[in-house]
Amino acid sequence: MSQRHQSRRMEGRVALVTGGGSGIGRAAALAYCREGATVVVAGRRSEELDETVRLIVAEGGEASAIPTDVAIAQQVRELVDLTIERYGRLDAAFNNAGIEGAFAPIAEMPEADFDEVIAINLRGAWLSIKYEIAAMHGLGNGGAIVNTSSFLAKGASVGSTAYSASKGALDALIRAVALEYGPHNIRINNINPGAIQTPMFERLGGLEQIDIIAAFTPLRRVGQPADAADVAVWLSTDEARFVTGQTLMVDGGVSIPHVR
């Protein structure tokens, strides 16, 4: 076990991870537990959540699953209520649930596709933050929230209007939340991953492009789920105690404006 894990920076704390059944969320759930936290994983598919819990328990950690659709306010409220009922506190939340949606040029994008991406990536994150903050504020112990935005919040790709708008708005909204709840020692930050090898990356055809992506990435590889998850966990620890309202690129350097 590494020195980092021995330090157990989240000992005695409770962390909630949405989108915890796969990809970056599963890696983060495992990483929070290795740091000593008890973790609640949420998402729509129970089997995937149960598998994350199984992996955590196999490592000696404590976790449970609460199936939740973040687009439904009632379910988000119940997720937060149940977490506190079960474990008595909420110290960290990683709002990572998201979909890529259908990529298409704006004139060809059905309105329903735009609405779905906004409903999950933006409104779902807004709802998660709203109910988590209400709980953290009520408990009075402060807290740390991290959301998964994207490098496409700042950049763009053809067809990304809905996705980029959802993540760009998520970058904007956390600055207001940071101002509103900073006085209560509740911090909020975003990670903005580049290409990370997850089921979403695979659905977007990333595996076929993996060598090309690695070649234009300054660190010369595609990211792995833990590359993003470890930054989210760091932002949740006391090591980041003076960091709030920030968006942090986790993209191997792709976003550096550079001349070839």
Interstrand relation of 247-250 and 63-67 (parallel, antiparallel or unpaired): unpaired
Identify the three-state secondary structure at position 17. strand
Give yes or no for residue 99 binding ligand NAP (CB under 6 A).
yes
Give the nearest distance from C-beta 199 to ligand NAP in angstroms: 4
Contact in structure between 197 and 253 (CB atoms under 8 Å): no
Q: What does the alpha-carbon distance between residue 51 and residue 96 come to, in Å, rounded to a whole number? A: 17
Closer residue to ligand NAP in complex, CB, 38/197: 197
Other beta carbons less than 10 A from residue 37's beta carbon: 29
Q: Which one of the listed residues 32, 87, 131, 163 is annotated catalytic?
A: 163
By CB under 6 A, tell whether 221 contacts ligand NAP: no
Judged by CB under 6 A, the residue of 16, 21, 31, 174 near ligand NAP is 21
Q: How far is the CB of 155 from ligand NAP (least distance, A)?
A: 11
Binders of ligand NAP: how many residues, by CB under 6 A?
30
Q: Indicate which single residue of 50, 62, 69, 113 sits in contact with ligand NAP (rule: CB under 6 A).
A: 69
Among 4, 8, 44, 184, binds ligand NAP (CB under 6 A): 44
- As measured in angstroms, the least distance from the Cβ of 6 to ligand NAP is 27
Bridge partners for 196 per DSSP: 223
Question: Are 139 and 85 within 8 A, CB to CB?
Answer: no
| 163 catalytic per annotation | yes
Give dist(CA 132, CA 145) in Å, integer: 8
Decide: is 174 part of the binding site for ligand NAP (CB under 6 A). Answer: no
What's the one-letter identity of residue 220? R
Rounded to a whole number of angstroms, the minimum distance from the CB of residue 233 to ligand NAP is 15
The answer for 212, left when phi > 0, alpha when psi is -120 to 50, beta otherwise, is alpha
Site string for ligand NAP, 191-210 (x = CB under 6 A): --x-xx-xxxx---------
Q: Where are the alpha helices (DSSP H) in the chain?
A: 3-7, 23-34, 46-58, 73-87, 111-117, 124-139, 161-181, 199-203, 210-216, 225-236
143 binding ligand NAP? (CB under 6 A): no
Active site residues: 163
Binding interface with ligand NAP (CB under 6 A): 18-19, 21-25, 43-45, 48, 68-71, 96-99, 120, 124, 148, 150, 193, 195-196, 198-201
